[in-house]
Amino acid sequence: MVKKIWIYDNESLHSQETSKKLREKLLASGSLRTKEHQASPGLIQTQLVQDGHFEFNEESPDIVISIGGDGTMLSAFHKYETQADKIRFVGVHTGHLGFYTDFLSSQLDEVVAALKNEDPRNAVHYPLLKVKVNLDDGNSKSFYALNESTVRRGAETLVAEVNISGFIFEKFRGDGLVVSTPTGSTAYNKSIGGAVMHPQVEAMQMAEIASINNRIFRTLGSPMIVAKKDSITIIPESENELWFTIDQKEYKMTNLKEVVYSLDGHTIAFANCAHTPFWSRVRNNFIGSE
Ligand code: NAP
Ligand code: MN
């Protein structure tokens, strides 16, 4: 089976050069074999032909290789978001090994070998966060986040009610709230004191950004991990103009009624090749290797 590949690079020179090299290596990876063909009646010739393992296809790839950082993987995911259930992702990092990347740019031969042996049935799946935005006019729009989604304000504070599966949980006042996926737990969530979650835990996490706690406003104050069966709804006070974000995308909104977060079973799949154990990634990235 020929695998349809697309290489997603970013604007940096290192990413583009790595992308070009990988493309050449993938093209050159076909195996040579002999093939007999009838040149003319009575004359059979033997030819050397090259069998390709890969072809390049931007519209409907089986495998998307992101070349850059974790941020590049986020953009690659959003480019193919609507086809995410049919695609396996592979990350090649142009710096240090990140969280969504399994290879360094010095390991392109390993990437090619791993892709040849890769079996789609062994792909590793991680939960995506479903984000449904309901607007004041009754319209709504849904998104998926790979890292997180936030509701935030800048100079003034955000005031919002937080419901868990329809139950009024707290009234938040502060800079904002971050709801992250398990794989996003090492990103923004971690910077604001959220817990690092193993990516196969099927849950979402909500963490506060600078909550104000006094006699009037009282929040839990600690990050919370919410089970797959529950939803989190954030209902900002209507006069709040705010920022609503999904991974790297941000929207300034004045008509946001509420945002509903849930896990609906949609996942991102990573090709199972050279997969670095999660806790060793966490150690290497945040504590340092010995
Ligand atoms: P960026 O400003 O380059 O990202 C910030 C850092 O987060 C980069 O070092 C990035 O790694 C890293 N990162 C991204 N996803 C990660 C993950 N799942 N686990 C661990 N580290 C991760 O912007 P970006 O690269 O486009 O990434 C967007 C993300 O930045 C957002 O989704 C959010 O999580 C994060 N962010 C963090 C803060 C904060 O910590 N205060 C504030 C805003 C946004 P690479 O260098 O490999 O790309
Ligand atoms: Mn980045």
Residue 242: CATH number of its domain? 2.60.200.30
Q: Are residues 143 and 258 in the same domain?
A: yes
Beta-carbon contacts of residue 41 (< 8 Å; ≥ 6 apart): none
Q: Are residues 118 and 197 in the same domain?
A: no
For the Cβ of 286 lying below 6 angstroms from any atom of ligand 1, the answer is no
Query: In the prediction, which pLDDT does 274 show?
Result: 66
Domain extent, residue 174, equals 129-262
Q: Label residue 150 left, alpha or beta by phi (over 0 means left) and psi (-120 to 50 means alpha).
A: beta
Query: In the prediction, which pLDDT does 69 show?
Result: 95
Query: In the prediction, which pLDDT does 33 show?
Result: 64
48 phi and psi, to 5 degrees?
-100, 125
For the Cβ of 187 lying below 6 angstroms from any atom of ligand 1, the answer is yes
Q: At what angle do helices 13-28 and 108-117 cross, to 10 degrees?
A: 50
Instruction: Give the span between the Cα atoms of 156 and 60, in whole angstroms.
Output: 44
Its sign, for the CA torsion 49, 53, 55, 60, is positive
Query: In the prediction, which pLDDT does 30 show?
Result: 77
For the Cβ of 184 lying below 6 angstroms from any atom of ligand 1, the answer is yes
For the Cβ of 199 lying below 6 angstroms from any atom of ligand 1, the answer is no
Q: Are residues 195 and 75 in the same domain?
A: no
∠ CA 71-76-81 to the nearest 5 degrees? 120
Give me the amino acid identity at 159: V
Instruction: Establish whether 70 is an annotated binding residue.
Output: yes
Which ligand is nearest the CA of 68, by number?
1
Which residues pair with residue 44 across a beta bridge?
A: 38
Taking alpha carbons only, the member of 67, 83, 69 closest to residue 23 is: 67
249: helix, strand or coil? strand
Q: Are residues 168 and 201 in the same domain?
A: yes
Q: What is the CATH number of the domain that holds 34?
A: 3.40.50.10330
Instruction: Give the span between the Cα atoms of 145 and 261, in whole angstroms.
Output: 10
Q: Are residues 185 and 250 in the same domain?
A: yes
Q: Are residues 214 and 271 in the same domain?
A: no
Which ligand is nearest the CA of 70, by number?
1
Instruction: Give the span between the Cα atoms of 264 and 199, in whole angstroms.
Output: 16
> Tens digit of pLDDT per residue, the chain (290 long)?
789 999 999 999 999 999 999 999 998 887 656 777 787 888 887 776 666 789 999 999 999 999 999 999 999 999 999 999 999 999 999 988 789 999 999 999 999 999 999 999 999 999 999 999 999 999 999 999 999 999 999 899 999 999 999 999 999 999 999 999 999 999 999 999 999 999 999 999 999 999 999 988 899 999 999 999 999 999 999 877 999 999 999 999 999 999 999 999 999 999 987 677 899 999 999 998 76
Q: Are residues 7 and 119 in the same domain?
A: yes
Torsion of CA 210, 216, 222, 223, to 10 degrees: -70
**Cα(70) to centroid(ligand 2), Å:** 6
**Cα(108) to centroid(ligand 2), Å:** 21
For the Cβ of 99 lying below 6 angstroms from any atom of ligand 1, the answer is yes
Query: In the prediction, which pLDDT does 48 show?
Result: 63
Q: Are residues 177 and 258 in the same domain?
A: yes
For the Cβ of 77 lying below 6 angstroms from any atom of ligand 1, the answer is no
Instruction: Give the span between the Cα atoms of 216 and 94, in whole angstroms.
Output: 49
| Contact (CB, 8 A) for 90 and 64 | yes
**Cα(219) to centroid(ligand 2), Å:** 31
Query: In the prediction, which pLDDT does 40 show?
Result: 81
Q: Are residues 187 and 85 in the same domain?
A: no
Q: Are residues 68 and 162 in the same domain?
A: no
Instruction: Establish whether 175 is an annotated binding residue.
Output: yes
Number of domains composing the chain: 2
Q: Are residues 117 and 137 in the same domain?
A: no
Q: Are residues 222 and 258 in the same domain?
A: yes
In a mutational test of the pocket of ligand 1, which residue from 12, 67, 70, 270 has the highest number of ligand atoms less than 8 Å from its CB? 70
Instruction: Give the span between the Cα atoms of 10 and 76, in whole angstroms.
Output: 9
For ligand 2, a single-atom ion, the residues with CB < 5 A are 69, 71
Instruction: Establish whether 148 is an annotated binding residue.
Output: yes
